[in-house]
Amino acid sequence: MKTLAAVALARTFTFFVGSDSHFGAEGMVEANRALIEHMNALPGTEYPSQIGGRVEEPRGVIFTGDLTDNGLLDEFAWFEKMYGRTGRDALLRFPVFESIGNHDVNATSPIKERQRARHGGINYSWDWEGVHFACLDMYPDAATRAWMEADLRTLPAGQPVILFFHYSLEGRYSGFWRAEEKEAFAASIAGYNVLALIHGHEHRTGHYAWRGHPVFRPGAPRHSSHTFLTVRVEADRLAVAAWDFDAAQWVWTSLVPVRR
């Protein structure tokens, strides 16, 4: 009999990843409009030869925080106006699943209340084709780790998992959470079939490995790394490609074997 992981990964699907819309900062309405228009138009585009085929209609868009520049509701209203929620209520034509970023938090944290209304919580999860996705707030602190551990315990053994949040895991932009918090997070996900970790925060695109886990960051409308990611989950690999929405071209690809 096939395991759940093998059955789920026999069905290919695609999703997109963006980050750091920073509504409220100068020029962000225009920059985000360009990003969204490219996302909407990308299905049908030929992938680089390393991946092959064409971009399929995505199941949705993961968006890794800093939705606003100052944590204000009128700034978040722009996010909802342009990105929407369902793929039928805004400029973006696909459902969106966002996390909170540090710029979204102020003394009253009204953006957190909007996310609770949109998704049922700051931390939330769902499945696409048997792959489990979990949003881990700004980063997996003690409270979020407790929620995540309870969520992951409900999964069948070997079910593929993709986790996303805002803060970086390593490098010069990763000091916004403590080393002991990162150690605790690594211990919490040990033994699970984690296909990828995804974060934003850095306003630059790229990928690296952390504790043996593939990590991806999408770039941002703000500053100069104007890219987003396409992720195609296949039976035996994760195919990730970064699309530059200024130059209208692919800038890098990464192929990650799927563990059985």
pLDDT grade for 1, boundaries at 50, 70 and 90: very low
Domain locations in the chain as residue ranges: 4-257
Mean predicted confidence (pLDDT) in 27-50: 98
DSSP string, the chain: ---HHHHHHTS-EEEEEE----BTBTTHHHHHHHHHHHHHH-TTPBPPTTT-SBPPPPS-EEEES--BSS--HHHHHHHHHHT-SSSSSSSS-S-EEEE--GGG--SS-HHHHHHHHHHSSSEEEEEETTEEEEEESSS--HHHHHHHHHHHHTSPTT-EEEEE-SS-SSSTT-TTS-HHHHHHHHHHHTTSEEEEEE--SSS-EEEEEETTEEEEEE--SSSS--EEEEEEE-SSEEEEEEEETTTTEEEEEEEEEPP-
CA 229, distance to chain mean position in Å, is 9
| Amino acid found at 72 | L
Mean predicted confidence (pLDDT) in 50-64: 98
CA 235 – CA 5 distance, rounded (Å): 9
The pLDDT of residue 259:
74
The pLDDT of residue 63:
98
The pLDDT of residue 107:
81
Is the Cβ–Cβ distance between 90 and 99 less than 8 Å?
no
| Amino acid found at 8 | A
What the block records as the tokens of 86 is 């369902």
What the block records as the tokens of 68 is 């606003």
User: For domain 4-257, is the CATH number 3.40.190.10?
Assistant: no
| Amino acid found at 77 | A
Mean predicted confidence (pLDDT) in 171-187: 95
| Amino acid found at 125 | S
The pLDDT of residue 6:
45
CA 153, distance to chain mean position in Å, is 22
Q: Is the pLDDT of residue 7 over 60?
A: no
Phi/psi at 79 (5° precision): -60, -45
Q: Is the pLDDT of residue 149 over 90?
A: yes
What percent of the chain has a predicted confidence (pLDDT) above 70? 96
Query: 126 has which bridge partners?
Result: 133
pLDDT grade for 5, boundaries at 50, 70 and 90: very low
